[in-house]
A and B are shown apart, each in its own frame.
Chain A
Amino acid sequence: QVLLEQSGGALKKPGASVKVSCTASGYTFTRYIIAWVRQAPGQGLEWMGWISAYSGDTKYSEKFQGRVTMTTDTLTTTAYMELRSLKSDDSAVYYCVRTTTETTPPSPGYALDIWGQGTVVTVSS
């Protein structure tokens, strides 16, 4: 069974950083690209970027460029997303997602097929 298991929720102060982990199992980790998507309370889905678990190549949303870093550890089959300089509107559920693409950069048309359970990040003073 393909699973993505995310780290627990976090409470952070404005200006701090958060690092969310996502441990994959049930498939060959390096074969697929991992994306990160967030959802603010009561809001829609927002793509943050992706990382190739094979090469470490990344592509970030322009909105988060300079503030986000995505990494992977192939030994532990874990992906990480670190977001810095947190603001209150960064409070959201953060999801890691396996994509359907094996190529870097992703070929057009890829989808987000396996989702982690989500990690709640709350930013509050």
Chain B
Amino acid sequence: DADVTQTPRNRITKTGKRIMLECSQTKGHDRMYWYRQDPGLGLRLIYYSFDVKDINKGEISDGYSVSRQAQAKFSLSLESAIPNQTALYFCATSPGDSNSNQPQHFGDGTRLSIL
């Protein structure tokens, strides 16, 4: 079983719809992250969470919200989807040490298309 699981893997929806992407992990990591990947732009951080009570905006948080329901679960919502939010979305985790030199662990992504 995957350590970081994202659902759904693919989603096509219409402009204006509310969408939730879910992420769960079995690694026991405190930190969780949401990124979006666009061709030629690499990964950009949307939100990150250091624990259940700590949520922080990343560089491109406008139009998105998150919820950390438990240590193992971190969901990303698009309240009213727009076409330029079409992208590949990744959830990632890492250990909670504040000066951690450990790598992040990624899910396999959600491909989101907004028409």
Whether chains A and B associate is no
A contact set with B: CB distance below 8 Å: none
B contact set with A: CB distance below 8 Å: none
